[in-house]
Amino acid sequence: MAIDKDVRRKIIEARKIIEDVMKIDGNEAETRRRVERIFETLMGYNAFEHLSRERAVKGAGETEHVDFVVQFDRSPDAEPIMIVELKRVGIDLATKHLKQVTSYAIDCSCEWVLLTNGRSWKLYHVEFGQPPITKLIEQWDLFSSDISELAAKFNIISYKNIKKGGLEKLWEKASVLSPVNLLTAITSIESINMIRRILKKNSDVVVDHSDLINGLQKLLNESAAIELSNIKIRLPGQKKPSVKKDTQIEPVISLNDSPAIVNPSQEIAPQDTANL
């Protein structure tokens, strides 16, 4: 992917200003100034108009101010678009930092959180349920990620992209690609039949629907297998049980008699299948 020369130059400059503050082991205020500069030069924000340090939130028993909030106007009731929580450049980002900024986001009804120390950047989405769910959507490292990746990642939180609804589109995509949605699609009767046809073509062996589902389950890690066991899978040829009037029950196959509740924000990763 070709990178615009101006964008490449700005990314290199961003690396340089963070390197400089790392050399002096700069404090949080010094890190903030550099990060604000990156927001201006690389992401197209006007620091005075779009980055507010005046947003008050409820902290642990007292009123606190967030590091800064991305917003599109300076009015007191401006909608917060994204809360930015900064840590000094020499501190690695940790779970406790995320918990802190998530509480800020909930207090001011802001769905997006950016956690950064200038080196590492992590973008989260907050769902205001009971309990609230914070999901990591994107992450990148200013030094280890290549320039083409950095260009794409910083564009996600750029002024122009957010202004035209880029974060909403990003969340829609992340929601569609959630583990439960992917597993539901994979175990749909259409997908199962297609896989059976491919296996028969390649091996001349007819695989039963249930055996295929069990085989898929073995490819998944524990959390994914539990998620799969909770999905109702309709198989062809099953007779509908007799039901009372006004009651509709569809035939299903269950892989687990005791479904477990899994946090939907958990990542699902395939296991090593080399020995299967």
Over residues 82-96, the pLDDT tens digits come to: 999 999 999 999 888
At 200, list the tokens. 């028969």
Over residues 60-84, the pLDDT tens digits come to: 556 666 788 899 887 777 889 999 9
- The listed range with the strongest mean pLDDT (19-33, 218-232, 245-259) is 19-33
The answer for 109, left when phi > 0, alpha when psi is -120 to 50, beta otherwise, is left
Residue 151 is predicted with a pLDDT of 96
Does the pLDDT at position 168 exceed 80? Answer: yes
How far apart are alpha carbons 29 and 49 in whole angstroms?
Answer: 20
Write out the DSSP string of 109-172.
T--EEEEE-SSEEEEEEEE-SSS-EEEEEEEEETTTS-HHHHHHHHHHTSHHHHHTTHHHHHHH
Domains of the chain are: 5-165 (3.90.1570), 178-276 (no CATH)
87 within 8 A of 34, measured Cβ to Cβ: no
Q: How confident is the model at residue 41 (pLDDT cuts 50, 70, 90)?
A: very high
Q: Which of 57-66, 168-177, 250-259 has the lowest mean pLDDT?
A: 250-259
- Kindly report the number of other CB atoms within 10 A of residue 91's CB atom: 13
How far apart are alpha carbons 37 and 169 in whole angstroms?
Answer: 26
At 190, list the tokens. 């259409």
Mean pLDDT of the region 135-157: 96
Mean pLDDT of the region 243-260: 36
How far apart are alpha carbons 178 and 266 in whole angstroms?
Answer: 9
Write out the DSSP string of the chain.
----HHHHHHHHHHHHHHHHHHHTT--HHHHHHHHHHHHHHTT---HHHHEES--EEE-SSSEEE-SEEE-SS-STTPPP-EEEEE--TTSPP-HHHHHHHHHHHHHTT--EEEEE-SSEEEEEEEE-SSS-EEEEEEEEETTTS-HHHHHHHHHHTSHHHHHTTHHHHHHHHHHHTSHHHHHHHHTSHHHHHHHHHHHHHHHS-PPPHHHHHHHHHHTB-HHHHHHHHTS-B--TTPPPPP--TT------B-S-SS-----TTS---BPP-TT-
How far apart are alpha carbons 78 and 271 in whole angstroms?
Answer: 46
Residue 218 is predicted with a pLDDT of 77
Residue 78 is predicted with a pLDDT of 81
**Residue-wise burial string across 112-148, b where 16 or more C-beta atoms lie within 10 A, e elsewhere:** bbbbbbbbbbbbbbbeeeeeeebbebbebebeebeee
How far apart are alpha carbons 55 and 24 in whole angstroms?
Answer: 29
The larger pLDDT score, comparing residue 60 to residue 202, is at 202
pTM of the model: 0.69
Residue 262 is predicted with a pLDDT of 32
What residues are paired with 56 via a beta bridge? 65
Residue 70 is predicted with a pLDDT of 92
Q: How confident is the model at residue 244 (pLDDT cuts 50, 70, 90)?
A: very low
Mean pLDDT of the region 26-30: 89
Does the pLDDT at position 276 exceed 60? Answer: no
Residue 180 is predicted with a pLDDT of 79
Query: What is the overall mean pLDDT for the chain?
Result: 80
